[in-house]
Structure 1
Amino acid sequence: MHFGLSPEQQELAGTVRKVLARSADSMAVRAATESATGFDAALWETLCEQVGVAALAIPEEYDGFGATFFETSVVLEELGKALAPVPLLSSVVTAEALLGSGDAAVCGELLPQIAAGTVATLAWAGVTGAADAPIGVRAEGDALTGTVQAVLDGDNAELIVVAALDGDAPALFVVAPDAVRIEQVPAMDTTLRFATLTFEGAPARRIAGDGSAALARAHRAGTAAVAALQVGGAQRALDMTVGYSLERVQFGRLIGSFQALKHRMADMLVEVETSRSISWAASYAVATDADDADVLTASAASACGDAFMHVAGEAVQLHGGIAITWEHDISWVFKRAQALNQLFGLPHQHRALLPL
């Protein structure tokens, strides 16, 4: 691919950026995380209805926009930069799992709902772990039994797709939220929402197709999506640090004039730009189902995860003592780096998948 956004993609990013600047400033984000749902329902509705963020990668025959996963990653990078508490990641992963199942009837029923903004989640340990994460739910006929911990947006989901063992093979099932015992789980990063879902003979409908292929597709897309969020978060950390260095005075000089700090911020910039390049490469590979998509997504997860962690840590150091306070936004960026690092496998797990 050409490593640059097309005019249409630039316009998409700019539109999302304008919406977030208007509706997802620091006070709005904090208010949303302290609400009963933990996310900004009004912002989510605006993004879905006016921009169509949930419909971008969904094919037109399922009421989507028929764009690609790459356009979704463009949006995710902007959401990551704003720390916007909206459930796009969980809905994207669920949609990819449904598309990977190959069940046209179920896709025709459920994907239009996701495209319209219905909050969906995939209850599977692989969302917070590696692709080979054990499945803790078992199907017994049309009923599910077991527990899935740390389900992304599990307590707000209107549509729940569950990975369960049907015999010895993984399969996907649709379960109504009111048939599940749901317990919200406190998270260090309050801009992300998690819940424990317990199934006690919950009635379920099996989705036809290959469950293993569906989960592999969902994990690959989720890995690339998290990398895009990490790039946006790292850019936020860099921007805040540079801005602070041009305001903070020490020893009668702006701290941004000190050569040692200039070097550290230059290193942060290199990490952000390098991460963006590999994130774009991974998202494009996922969008085009390229032969090297698995290698590129593993590379992106490794590089972007480590880069965001380091850039966020540097941002805390360069902000000084105020950075560890709840009131300062850079602490939220640091928490987001820690939280995203736990999704879809740790960086070292992805590095182990790369060819020598």
Structure 2
Amino acid sequence: MKTVRWLSISACALVPVFALANTLTLEKVQSRDSVRCGVNAAQPGFSSLDDGDQYRGLDTDVCRAVAAAALGDASKVDFVPLDSVERFTALQSGEVDLLSRTTTWSSSRDTTLGLQFTGVTYYDGQAFMVASDLGVQSAEDLDGAAVCTQSGTTSELNLSDYFRINDMSYDAVVFDSPEQSIAGFEAGRCDVLSSDASQLYAQRMQLADPNMAVVLPEIISKEPLGPAVRQGDDQWFNIVKWSLFAMLNAEEYGVTSENVDEQRSTNNPDIARLLGQDGNYGEGMGLNEDWAYQIIKQVGNYAEIYERNVGADSNFKIARGLNALWKDGGIQYAPPIR
């Protein structure tokens, strides 16, 4: 797996996105023999470099799943680290083939930026982290607080809405990156750090003393996080979308990276269709019939990527909650392959 960083493009000089999108992305990916995936540089659990200088996390595994489907090899990903300001420009311009970077699906992003969100990989919400010695128990006690947050994110707007609705005031301390915001919080430049709850749990683990901070219980927004692609290329949109759906369906059917070879001889018609043993459901996307098999074999089902990155097998131990399957009390749901 390679990590690449291309020349940044000014957000003030957006290239007309539809002209670029008319070139079939799958053809470019296959010609290049790699998927260029825009990710976060340093959000443990979702996208960060491990000790071996390899990107790990829920978002990066989504990139690998797309590479497994499109190229038959999950390792053929060029990870492009992007900050919150440049991420949309990088996708619009064609610098990356997809964006898998803890990005909230919202109406304006879906309708005015030339982007399409392909699904929700993680249902999240904005929260607050405060210094433990402040003794704050609730977000309702934050009137007049200095709040660190990140520029170019939905967090800025959510903060303004929350404090206005609750007739409270605050002083915004805005940073360009998660690394800067957690450093500012740790240095005492603000009383509170506000971001998606998933990011706060990750940032808390980065503190010299994680016990110095606590995440408050209130969730003040809906933050459905998921991959995005450029508008205008329905084939690539379908590939990225169904790569996620394949992992969700695999979990529902009990198909894992460990038993997927055995499951290829199943009598269950749902599993047979998923694994390309009954019909070729990759053909309509320009993929081989074993596209979903390759995802599951090389990357895993949704439960596997969740648990190893942010769940029970990770340092974060985040319960599935809304991210459980629909049949287990959550809202993760995939259409059938048929």
TM-score, length-normalised on structure 1?
A: 0.32
Query: Could you say which structure has the greater relative contact order, defined with CA pairs below 8 angstroms and 6 or more residues apart?
Result: 2
TM-score, length-normalised on structure 2?
A: 0.33
More helix by share: 1
